[in-house]
Amino acid sequence: MDDTQTLNTTVAGDATAIPPEELDRLTDEIVTAMKSVYDPEIPSDIYELGLIYRVDIDDARKVAIDMTLTSPSCPSAAELPGMVENAVATVPGISEVKVTLTFDPPWDQSRMSDEARIALNMW
């Protein structure tokens, strides 16, 4: 993801329960896990496409993710949330993962990183 985009990661619950170093590690590893998930129709990962809207980590290390799709009629709508859950669940220290699909706000190309724009030749 380029420098103009940031992951909206928040800690739910008692913010002192997760030491800052651990939160940084979890965040980095969650991003890496999400970047391993690709929309089968687009040669870019879901993170670089800007499909991840929110990641919350609570004090019990439960992760809640809000994500969207490029279109409500995306043929991968049934598969992608589960793929994200499975990928993030592999991060050591995570106790549970729940992905919620949302279309508010609707996704648009402005959410894509420079990396995704290059991969898709969308300059």
Domain harbouring 68, CATH code? 3.30.300.130
Q: Is residue 2 part of a domain?
A: no
Residue the block writes with tokens 């589960």:
82
Tokens coding 66: 């809000």
Q: Is residue 4 part of a domain?
A: no
Judged by DSSP in three states, 72 sits in coil
Q: Of how many residues is the chain composed?
A: 123
Q: What is the pLDDT of residues 12-64, one digit of tens each?
A: 555 457 999 999 999 999 999 999 999 888 889 999 999 999 999 999 999 99
**How far apart are the C-alpha atoms of 104 and 102, rounded to whole Å?**
6
Q: Is residue 31 part of a domain?
A: yes
Domain extent at residue 70: 9-119
Q: Is residue 3 part of a domain?
A: no
Q: Is residue 34 part of a domain?
A: yes
Q: At residue 8, does pLDDT exceed 80?
A: no
Q: At residue 4, does pLDDT exceed 50?
A: no
Number of domains in the chain: 1
- What are the backbone dihedrals phi and psi of residue 52, each rounded to the nearest 5 degrees, phi first? -95, 120
Q: At residue 119, does pLDDT exceed 90?
A: no
Q: What is the pLDDT of residues 66-109, one digit of tens each?
A: 999 988 888 888 899 999 999 999 999 999 999 999 999 999 99
